[in-house]
Structure 1
Amino acid sequence: MSANSEPATTGKADKADKADKPAGSGPGLSIPKVPFWAQIVAGLVLGVLLGWLARSQDISWLYTTLDKIGSIFVQLLKLAVAPLVFFAILVSITNLRKVNNAARLASRTLLWFMITSLIAVAIGIVIGLITNPGSGTGLTPKDGAKPEGSGSWIDFLTGIVPTDVISPFTELNVLQIVFLAAVAGIAALKLGDRAAPILALSESVLELLQKALWWVIRLAPIGTVGLIGYAIADYGWDLIGDYATFTADVYIGCALVLFGVYPLLLVTVAKVSPLQFFKGAWPAIQLAFVSRSSVGTMPVTVRVTERLGVPKEYTSFAVPFGATTKMDGCAAIYPALAAIFIAEIFNVQLGIQDYLLIAFVSVVGSAATAGLTGATVMLTLTLSTLGLPLEGVGLLIAIDPILDMMRTATNVAGQALVPVIVASREKILDHDKYNSASASPIDEPDAADADSRETAVPVPA
């Protein structure tokens, strides 16, 4: 070996060497790596400060800048929604052929989606009855306005089947996209080997979309500055004061489900540690809080669910399915509280049958929320079912972005929770991986994990 030659090293050794010596560091100099959660927190704090500055000092250019930053971030998330949902559902359905008792797993998943939704809507109703969120707000029916679009059972049921294959993607009708993907996935299963080229292409496209969405996810701290800053600059603290009881109810209700019901189910049903679950799922929960999009968070939710020991083939079905139908925050707690709030504003008395209808709508109609930011469609569906004035939606639009953060975080936590519960009960959960979630940080996947899951989307570091 010559004096100028270098010893051969393996890929893992190179990665280890790079980890020990960050790029751009000199002798004795080490640049610390800022965890993703810390970047998010910094974005939240900076957003609040800039929003307060823009509002208090009436700085129009700062107000506009915050609006544009937040809007662009959300738009980038939405850009990938239609193709991401289609290929994720298609691939997830076809991946079920690799899992034993696929039909049983699918039915158990749907069952637990319904059970947790019922629990969540019951909590929302109880909190609303105790606190009377519409009383003492000073709001009147004149303060409301009908939404431009509304949901009804006729629209919901007939709207599942599209009139063509293009409109669902151009109009971003996620429910119709799910229908098309489900039909395509089932057809591919029936074709067997003849569908192999299509499935290979679909998996490649899904990987491409996930990779592109990963770049957007890395922008979440910047998007946080814009979204939070604009909310503060536009609405201010006075608006939160007007809706103080309702806002507190939504956050308390979501917190009870997120940190009360979910841990209880993990202990009593799944027989696993709740602390380990939150350690593993936290990257997805925090991203959901910022992005306000279950679908936008879906690649990260898939990643953390796999890291919690749920088999990849089952995860690839359960999480995309949950991202479009599993909405404990937006479709259970929120519409229950909102219905009570609006009924009190409009002086409408709700009876037992009305509360049962709220529960029914929450369980059956949750797909109407479509995993996008906001829950207006679900709210109008609930109000129309109860016969409440749709003008009530206008009372809640202004405060919605602030509420949507906690709602979406609860949604995503539930989307990771149910696969863990089902996998544990069906004896397919890898308990060693689940229990090692804290030992192997989710935001720094090791080489072995990356090699074994080439299609997985890495969680932000």
Structure 2
Amino acid sequence: MSQTVPTPARARKPWYRQLYVQVLVAIVVGVVVGWRWPDLGEALQPVGTTFIAAMKLLIGPIVFLTIIGGIISVADIRRVGLTGLKALTYFQVGAIVALATGLVAINVFRLGDGVDADPAKIHPTGNAEQYIKTGETQHWWEFFTHLIPKSFFSAFVEGDILQIIFLAVIFGIAIKAVGPIGDPIATSVKRLTDVVFKVLSFVMKAAPLGAFGAMAYAVGAFGLSTLTSLGSLIALFYATSILFVVVALGGLLALYVRLNIFQLFRYLKEEFFLVLGTSTAEPALPGLMRKMTYMGADRTTVGLVVPTGYSFNLDGAAIYLSLAALYIAQATNTELTIPQQLGLLAVMLLTSKGAAGVAGGGFIALTATLSTIGTVPAAGIMLIFGIDKFMSECRALVNFYGNAVATLVIAKWDHNLDLDRARAVLADPASAENSLLPGRAEEPVEEPKVVVAVK
């Protein structure tokens, strides 16, 4: 007879081989290099941009394949539409809360009072001038017309997540509709997804190098001295964002989903430092999708909510927009009544979507908002243009965590979240990663087993 002996769980990696430790060390070294040798820091820009470009190269295929795989695995196709509707509803409510949080904070502390900036003497230069021109000509309805790509491949070439989502949903529904004819395609999608995630694991090994280059360039190009000029505004933005994450997102996660947001921080620490080092949440999108699925969230829900949230669920950007708009109004001595501020909030709900995924999207959305209201000079964005780079990290982090929470909330709302599994993973991520828990996403289905013959 024979006896099956399970292979022992894999040993935990030493601390110095943990990706988040390596990225954290790279960030610190990058700050030192950019501070002490600014010219060298600026010269290292290609190191960071190349890594981000490599990650963006994989985002399109991952989003496309994951959404298709999720849709074709759903028994009732109507569930996909309901999940999308719930997600969009949640995103809008979250945006309103985030915008309101920023409005309250800047109204309480009024950091713009006393600046007394003369709008007539503010002259935009460089990229800021282009952002203002784009924002002033932007229309709220452009978001809908932008959904359809010029061609199938243009969405992937330009890296437009919204257009890729649109294509993936159409193709997923079509494959589902043709029945058994689509089975070979469904199998190919699963195999291609495994291959792309394996490529992702290779690229992620360069994450510390990418974070080092991006941070060295940021500090070398903009200088730490920039922080002192508008340090109070930066501090208020960070404090407001932390309060929003811990109280609003943390409270929602604890009361509705019954999970601890601080445990979620620990679980996503690798992605956290990756976002911090690169100043953008895009490189962390694939990792977030994989980890949310592994936690016990339904694959279809994750595939729809996470990519869509990257364009719609921008809590950090919403806080930034409301803070910046009111700061500019105060700094230029433009008085806004409560009804006008509420109108500002309503306009931001539309303009913030139109600039999703666009370079300088935050400034474009801010300019479009100020131009629509007409009472606050759009050129006032020059008052905060210099410190934007030091606020982008916080925006990206809040956006990232907002999407993690949104995924869990929508999965729970859809009754597609395995809470027992989620609690087990969050309680001890390292042990869970080494265990053979069922349903693990994007990993080998089963560890090899050793068969010992017993005579």
Q: Give the TM-score normalised by the residue count of structure 1.
A: 0.81
Does the residue aligned with 1:50 lie in a helix, a strand or coil?
A: helix
Q: List aligned pairs for 1:25-424, cutoff 5 A.
A: 33-55=16-38, 60=39, 62-97=40-75, 101-136=79-114, 141=119, 142-145=122-125, 146-148=129-131, 149-150=134-135, 151-330=138-317, 332-370=318-356, 375-376=361-362, 377-387=364-374, 388-424=376-412
Unmatched segments (≥5 aa) in structure 1: 1-7, 23-30
- 1:64 and 1:338 map into 2 onto residues whose CA distance is 27
Matched, 1:12 2:15: no
CA displacement, residues 163-199 of structure 1 (integer Å, 9 cap, x when unaligned) = 4334333333333333333333333333333333333
Distance 1:303 1:49 in 2: 33
Identity among equivalent pairs (%): 26
State the shift of 1:210 in Å: 2.9
Task: Write the letter of the residue equivalent to 2:47.
Answer: I
Q: Sort the Cα spacing of 1:260 and 1:143 in 2 relative to 1 into closer, same or farther, 3 A.
A: farther
Contact 2:48 2:213 in 1 (8 A): yes
- 2:337 and 2:160 map into 1 onto residues whose CA distance is 33
> Aligned partners of 1:443 and 1:389: how far apart in 2?
55
The one-letter code sitting in structure 1 at the alignment partner of 2:298 is P
Closer, same or farther: CA 84–50 of 1 in aligned 2, 3 Å = same
Displacement of 1:371 in angstroms is: 5.4
Post-superposition shift, 1:126? 0.9
Task: Report the equivalent of 2:450.
Answer: none
Q: Decide which moves more: 356-365 or 126-135.
A: 356-365
Query: Which stretch of structure 1 is more off in the superposition, 81-90 or 317-326?
Result: 81-90
Structure 2: segments with no counterpart, 5+ residues: 445-455
Give the equivalent residue in structure 1 for 2:423: 435
Aligned residue type for 1:270: V
RCO higher in structure (CA 8 A, sep ≥6):
2
Q: Structure 1 residue 338: deviation in Å?
A: 1.8
- Give the aligned partner of residue 448 of structure 1: 436
Report the Cα offset of residue 9 of structure 1.
9.6
2:35–2:224 contact (8 Å) kept in structure 1: no
Whether the 8 Å contact between 2:71 and 2:300 is mirrored in structure 1 is no
Instruction: Assess if the C-alpha contact under 8 Å between 1:373 and 1:404 holds in 2.
Output: no
Cα-to-partner distance string for 1:59-83 (whole Å, 9 max, x where unaligned): x3x1343222222222222333333
- The answer on whether the counterparts of 1:240 and 1:399 sit within 8 Å (CA) in structure 2 is yes
Could you give the per-residue CA deviations for residues 325-363 of structure 1, whole angstroms, max 9, x where no partner exists?
211112x11111121123334443333344334433444
Say which SS state the counterpart of residue 152 (structure 1) adopts.
coil
SS of the residue corresponding to residue 7 of structure 2 reads helix
The two structures have a TM-score, normalised by structure 2, of: 0.82
Equivalences, count = 433
CA contact (8 A) 1:303 1:456 kept: no
Answer whether contact 2:140 2:354 (CA < 8 A) is retained: no
RMSD: 3.4
Q: Secondary structure at the match of 1:147?
A: helix
